[in-house]
Amino acid sequence: MEINDLSLKIREIPDFPSKGIIFRDLTTLLKDAEALRVMSDALVNIYRDRGVTKVVGIESRGFIGGSIMAYALGAGFVPARKPGKLPAVTVKKSYAKEYGVDTIELHSDAINEDDIVVLHDDLLATGGTMMAAYELVKSMNPKKIYINFVVELTALKGRDVLPSDCEVTSLLKY
């Protein structure tokens, strides 16, 4: 199985969560052992020689690929969570969504100036969540930040809202 074959393992669910949306369900990719291995190897190979010290996974599906990358790279894993889910002192960032405002949080001591960070989520749509996570991590002054996704929905132009000075990678594009 090759990277491009992974798209065959992603289930498409029409009209979810609302009419006119085609939801890309990665759970069907994740339950296939070979597809999971190919995805994992591809994610890790992007960052293998980049000195990554922390991987930030965005709640909740970003925890999966993020944890895999952190383990394989010998880096720490940092969860970016919805409000009220982290037990210690946090920093937070609110951002606009289609129907309101959402917030994401990190522990205030999660990232430091010596860190090289990969921000990871399963899917790039409009980019709002990732941009908020980026701004939080950036405020902690790491050496370098990379942004990564398994899937990118190019028609939604989420990449356009992400910082131009930050390398953004996606395994699959729709």
- As annotated, the active-site residues are 61, 98
Spatial distance between the Cα atoms of 122 and 58, rounded to a whole number of angstroms: 8
> From the CA atom positions of the chain, what is the Rg in Å?
16
Please identify which residue in the block is written with the tokens 């990732």. 130
- Please name every residue paired with 119 in a beta bridge, in sequence order, or none if there are none: 56, 147
Q: Which two tokens stand for residue 125?
A: 């749509």
3-state secondary structure of 1: coil
Q: Which two tokens stand for residue 138?
A: 């950036």
**CA angle at 1 for the pair 150 and 149, rounded to the nearest 5°:** 5
CB proximity list for 118: less than 8 A, separation 6 or greater: 47, 52, 54, 55, 56, 66, 69, 75, 145, 146, 147, 148
